[in-house]
Amino acid sequence: MLNLFSILASAVDTTAVETTQTAKDALVAISGLTLAEILQLIVDNCIVFGGKIIKVIIVWGVGRWLTRRLVALAKILMEKRDTNPTVQSFFISVIDVALLIALIIMIISIFGIDTSSFVALFASAGVAIGMALSGTLQNFAGGVMILLFRPYKVGDYIEAQGQAGTVKEIQIFNTMLKTSDNKIILVPNGPMSTGIVKNYSREDTRRVDFTVSISYGDDFEKAKAVIEELIAADKRILTTPGHFIALSALGASSIDITVRVWTRQEDYWGVFFDMNKNVYETLPKRGLNFPYQTFTVNVQKG
């Protein structure tokens, strides 16, 4: 039996010359039929076509139902992982579009049309777009990785790519940093996701390191006792972990004492500046001297 729909489907997949020849063959075949045979042929092909339409409607309905279920499942999984809302919205859109394209290709195949050309077209377009936007896509992928794995979050003070500041916003392509002098810096997410990032806000506590220098001849144990008094007087300094005081270096003009104490993140700079101020004001009152750099000059008379 001559199948008009098959002729139509094959015409879509062939070149212009082949399509013309196929149409001529169909006309020759039809011209030899009687009116009753032509009507029967039309009825038969309408039945076949109607069956395909019904199948398409069923596939479309079931496919869209499955698509909505899969999208809802993906949304639930991302919400459980507390994924950033920006990433949630993007991935849900990508999943929805990808499933819709797969469903459309499936429906096209029901009509007997070869879908390999469509797949090749989408693949070629994807390669072309990827090559044109390679740098942008790298930053996009980096942004997704940052939002998923969270090496830092908004409000953290970080240092990366030669820049330091408080994270003001994590965008898809860039991370926005606010410096201590109120500048805004946009750092691409690609290098941020693959490079070294120092996050000073990740832990609840932070160690404060500073150096106290006294003159040669001054009593180290006395200086250590004075520093311990200053540490004990500052309630922001934690007792656990304990502090550390040691004579770390014998310099050219000074004895250097390393002091390490622990405090909460929010108290770091306050403790750092106040301890330096208290040391400067207290040590001279206790008979301890700050050294000055000295030079010894030997003069020889000719």
CB–CB of 115/108 below 8 Å? yes
| Same-domain status, 179 and 83 | no
| Same-domain status, 213 and 239 | yes
Measured CA to CA, the distance from residue 236 to residue 262 in angstroms comes to 9
Q: What does the buried/exposed string (b/e) look like for 189-210 if buried means 16 or more CB atoms within 10 Å of the residue's CB?
A: bbbbbeeebeeebbeeebebeb
Q: What CATH number corresponds to the domain at position 262?
A: 3.30.70.100
More reliable by pLDDT, 132 or 242: 242
| Same-domain status, 183 and 149 | yes
Measured CA to CA, the distance from residue 209 to residue 263 in angstroms comes to 11
Note down the domain range covering 43. Answer: 4-128
What is the distance between the terminal CA atoms of the chain, rounded to a whole angstrom?
A: 127
CA 159 to chain centre: 16
Measured CA to CA, the distance from residue 95 to residue 290 in angstroms comes to 67
> Over the stretch 56-113, which tens digit does the pLDDT of each residue have?
888 888 888 888 888 888 888 877 877 666 667 667 777 887 888 888 888 877 777 6
Residue 136 lies in a domain: no
Average pLDDT, the chain: 81
Q: 213 pairs with which residues across the strands? A: 256
| Same-domain status, 186 and 246 | no
Measured CA to CA, the distance from residue 115 to residue 121 in angstroms comes to 10
| Same-domain status, 83 and 117 | yes
For residue 264, pLDDT over 90 is answered with: yes
More reliable by pLDDT, 43 or 185: 185
**Measuring CA to CA, which residue among 189, 85, 195 is closest to residue 145?**
189
Q: What CATH number corresponds to the domain at position 41?
A: 1.10.287
The model's pTM: 0.56
CB–CB of 88/75 below 8 Å? yes
Measured CA to CA, the distance from residue 285 to residue 50 in angstroms comes to 102
Residue 300 lies in a domain: no
By the 10 Å C-beta count (0-12 exposed, 13-18 middle, 19+ buried), 95 is classed as middle
**296's tokens:** 């010894």
Residue 138 lies in a domain: no
| Same-domain status, 8 and 108 | yes
Q: What angle do CA 268, 272, 278 make, to 5 degrees?
A: 140
For residue 5, pLDDT over 90 is answered with: no
Cα separations in angstroms, 59 against 5, 105, 108, 268: 20, 11, 11, 63
Q: 197 pairs with which residues across the strands? A: 160
Binning pLDDT at 50, 70 and 90, where does residue 236 land?
very high
| Same-domain status, 53 and 111 | yes
Question: How many domains does the chain divide into?
Answer: 3
Measured CA to CA, the distance from residue 136 to residue 213 in angstroms comes to 51
